[in-house]
Amino acid sequence: MKIIERQDKKITLATLKRFIKIHFNEGNLYVKQKSDFDGMTDCVQSVNDNFRKIESIDFNQLHTFGIKGLWLVRHSDDSFYNYQTDEFAGFEIYNCCGSSLIVTKI
């Protein structure tokens, strides 16, 4: 199975959910929070975070899927991009609440 979608194919929320389901069931799913909204400064700020293995998911939690470090606005405000390094492949997620990476180890 391909790890990430073709570069010319639009990445949607359905694409992200399918990626999460497949790689969580394989025990190979990680998250890294890059930034989040800080109410004290009323802006999005960088977060010093490392990749963490995802231990549980809950698709009933619409904005996080039960994954700490992931936040989805669930409108056209979410932006999804392919992400790949020598070690990880997956997606970058950006919105008004912050940004994160949801990846699998290659």
- 99: containing domain: 31-105
| Predicted pLDDT at 2 | 47
For residue 15, how many other CB atoms are within 10 A of its CB?
A: 15
Structural domain includes residue 18: no
pLDDT of residue 1: 40
Question: Considering its fold, how many domains does the chain have in total?
Answer: 1
Residue 5 lies in a domain: no
The segments of the chain whose pLDDT lies below 50 read: 1-2, 5
The predicted structure's pLDDT at residue 47: 84
State the Cα–Cα distance between residues 82 and 22, nearest whole angstrom.
17
Does a structural domain hold residue 72? yes
Tell if the pTM clears 0.75, that is, is over it: yes
Question: What pLDDT does 6 receive?
Answer: 52
